[in-house]
Each structure stands twice: as C-alpha cells, then as structure tokens.
C-alpha cells in the first residue's frame, strides 16, 4: 500500500479506547469519501482490545486506503508483549478481513487486517 492515503492516532490503553478508535476511523473514512465497510467497526475494536491487553500505557492505530482496500493496524508499544490470545487472527478473518497478521518488534506488537472498502 505504497501510494495510499493514511492517518494515525495515539490512544490511551483504556476501556474507552475501542469506541474512540471507531469514531476516529469513521471520521477519517468520511473525509476520504468512503462509507464504513461492514465488519470494519468490529475489526477495529478487536485490534484495539488485543493491543491494549498487552499492558502498555498507550496504543496507536494506523489506517490506510488504497485500491478500495482498507488497512487497519494497531501497535501496542510494549516491547515484551504476552502471547497473543488464541483465535485473534481467526476472528479477524471471520469479521471479513481479506488478510491479517501480527508481528512483535522492539516497538511492540502489531496486529493488522485488510478489509474491502465496500459496504
């Protein structure tokens, strides 16, 4: 997704982070002239809750769109995250992700999903 429009937000890893993340995503998609695709709200909530559960003080959410596909990526900012909850990637696929994955780096755990930008 090299030539894409994108946005990013830093959120406290608190119970209200999921709702705030969804609002941010909806506003950004509106700015881009895109509707909120079916399943994207649940995908964003799962990404945010998964990275918040890593125990860091904050998380970041990154959003990009290219060729009618939306990438949502959450980063925990905790270098030594606990093992990923079983079934997270399967749940993302069940929510409509075309592809999804996770990676742990010195920056923290990244969990991402690509969904079609259609309703």
Q: What is the pLDDT of residues 93-118, one digit of tens each?
A: 999 999 999 998 888 999 999 999 98
Q: DSSP H helical segments within the chain, as ranges? A: 17-31, 40-52, 88-94
Amino acid 80: pLDDT: 85
Single out the residue of 29, 46, 49 nearest to residue 96, CA to CA: 46
- The segments of the chain whose pLDDT lies below 50 read 1
Amino acid 73: pLDDT: 98
Query: Token pair for residue 84?
Result: 């990923």
Cβ-Cβ contacts under 8 Å for 36 (sequence gap 6 or more): 25, 26, 29, 119
Task: Specify the CATH number of the domain 5-116.
Answer: 3.30.565.10
Amino acid 3: pLDDT: 67
Amino acid 111: pLDDT: 97
Amino acid 119: pLDDT: 61
Amino acid 94: pLDDT: 96
In 3-state terms, what secondary structure has residue 88? helix
Amino acid 5: pLDDT: 87
The residue ranges of every structural domain in the chain are: 5-116
Report the predicted TM-score, pTM, of the whole model to 2 decimal places. 0.93
Single out the residue of 31, 11, 115 nearest to residue 67, CA to CA: 115
């Amino acid at each position: 997704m090299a030539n894409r429009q994108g946005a990013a937000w830093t959120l406290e890893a608190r119970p209200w982070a999921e709702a705030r993340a969804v609002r941010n995503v909806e506003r950004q998609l509106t700015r881009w002239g895109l509707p909120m695709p079916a399943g994207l709200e649940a995908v964003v909530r799962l990404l945010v809750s998964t990275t918040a559960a890593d125990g860091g003080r904050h998380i970041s959410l990154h959003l990009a769109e290219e060729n009618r596909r939306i990438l949502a990526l959450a980063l925990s900012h905790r270098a030594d995250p606990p093992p990923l909850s079983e079934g997270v990637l399967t749940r993302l696929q069940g929510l409509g992700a075309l592809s999804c994955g996770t990676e742990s780096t010195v920056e923290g755990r990244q969990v991402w999903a690509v969904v079609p930008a259609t309703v």
